[in-house]
Structures are given as C-alpha cells and as structure tokens.
Amino acid sequence: MRIDILTLFPKLCEGALAESMMKRAQEKGLATLRVHNIRDWATGKHLVADDTPYGGGQGMVMKCEPIFAAVESLRTPESRVVLMTPAGRPFRQEIAAGYSQAPHLILLCGHYEGIDQRVIDHLVDEELSIGDYVLTNGAIAALVVTDAVVRLLPGVLGDEASAAEDSFSQGLLEYPHYTRPLTFREWTVPDVLLSGHHAAIAQWRRQKALEKTQKNRPDLLG
C-alpha cells in the first residue's frame, strides 16, 4: 500500500518513517510511505499557505489552493483522502484494520486554527481524530495512523500472531506479559505461566484481559 502525508512540517515525520516497523515495511516492499510539504504547492513570491479568518477571530487558517493542488497531484481513483482533525471520527483499531486493506491513503495535516471548510466539503473523504485533545499540528496524528495501519500489513510484524492478540483486536485489552528474571525484587512471575499447561495459561490470560479491561476500559465490555 501507499501512504502520502501532507504537512507543513515534513521533518516531524521523516525520522519516524525511517525507524522500526515503518522502516521495515518499506524495506520489505510492503509499503511506500512519503511525506510532502504542502508549501511546495503554494504559489506567489512568499509561498503563503495560510491567511486570516473571514469573520475575524484568532489565528490563521490554511488556504484551499495549495491543499487542493497537492491532493489533486497525488490522488488516484483508488485514493482515500483523510483529514487529521480533533473534530473528526475517533480513530480505532478497526479503522486501522480497514485502512490496511486500502491501496492508497492521503493523510492531510492541519496547523494553526485549522483548514478552510471548502477542503472538508469538497476534497476529503473523511475527517479523523486520534483522540479528544488538541495537538499543535496534524503531523504527529498522521504518524500515529500510519504506524497503526502499517503494522497490520501482512508480513510487516515478525510474529503475525502478535497483532491478532494485541489490545482491541478481540474486543479486550491485552493480558499481562512477563519475562526473565523469574523474581525481580520480591515480585515473582505467576506460577501458571511456568506450568507448561497451555489451556490453563490461555484461561489465565483471558481472565487477566477481562480484569484489565474492566479496570481501565469498562466501556469496551458494553
């Protein structure tokens, strides 16, 4: 698949795209991840990408022209254009799974007060939020989405089973993990994990996943 991130801060993304799973996905030829500076599509002597809001008020608003030009130069009939915004649909694991089936995502990042409404009305396919808080710009939000999507592409994770058991994949938060040493300070690993009894381990993990979900995210249990 291909993901294009459109931002005024490409450097914020470049380091992250060159590390860990996003790097590995590209090296394995499973994903093409590109970041572009929206200002490259701005025109005029000063390459202006923002202007004051009609009606007055604080801050600046990102202009239509460079954004339309950027998206229209990258878009194909298969592209899904997603605007990162705190006012969007909440991003969830099932959305990441859906996006991982898509051939091409264009993630559009705002800055300042936001983006001219005509971009939302006439250019983007959907508005997406990574949570109920406000970031300074959309680059970090786009990286969050890119990472969550890319790690679901078949072949990216070393152990394919690990994504299937992650939090949210089965409607629960994940069970606790332990590794060596057996005893750290006075805290020991639960006996059941040393038993070699696979059914008992699976049952214990399910129980712990339920307890953790009940404690931290009771909303997931309905």
In the bound state with ligand SAM, the residue whose beta carbon lies nearer, of 124 and 156, is 124
d(CA 32, CA 52): 35
Q: Which one of 27-35, 48-56, 136-144, 146-154 is the stretch in contact with ligand SAM (CB under 6 A)?
A: 136-144
> 67: alpha, beta or left, given left = phi > 0 and alpha = psi -120 to 50?
alpha
Answer whether 160's CB lies under 8 Å from 103's CB.
no
Residue type present at position 55: G
Return the exposure string of 60-80: e unless at least 16 CB atoms fall within 10 Å of the residue's CB, then b.
ebbbbebbbebbeebeeeebb
Contact status: 189 vs ligand SAM (CB under 6 A): no
d(CA 8, CA 152): 27
From residue 106 to residue 135, the character string flagging contacts with ligand SAM as x (rule: CB under 6 A) and all else as - is ---xxx-xxx-------------xxx-xxx
Contact status: 137 vs ligand SAM (CB under 6 A): yes
Contact status: 152 vs ligand SAM (CB under 6 A): no
In the bound state with ligand SAM, the residue whose beta carbon lies nearer, of 66 and 114, is 114
Give the nearest residue (CB) to ligand SAM.
110
Distances (CA, A) of 181 to 184, 185, 186, 188, 194: 6, 10, 11, 8, 12
In this chain, which of 18, 47, 87, 200 binds ligand SAM, going by CB under 6 A? 87
Q: At what angle do helices 20-27 and 10-17 cross, to 10 degrees?
A: 70
Contact status: 60 vs ligand SAM (CB under 6 A): no
- Least separation, in Å, of the C-beta of 213 and ligand SAM? 23
- Least separation, in Å, of the C-beta of 96 and ligand SAM? 14
- Least separation, in Å, of the C-beta of 129 and ligand SAM? 4
The two tokens of residue 172 are 């629960």
Cite the active site residues: 86, 113, 151, 166
The residues that touch ligand SAM, with contacts defined as CB under 6 A, are 84-87, 109-111, 113-115, 129-131, 133-138, 141
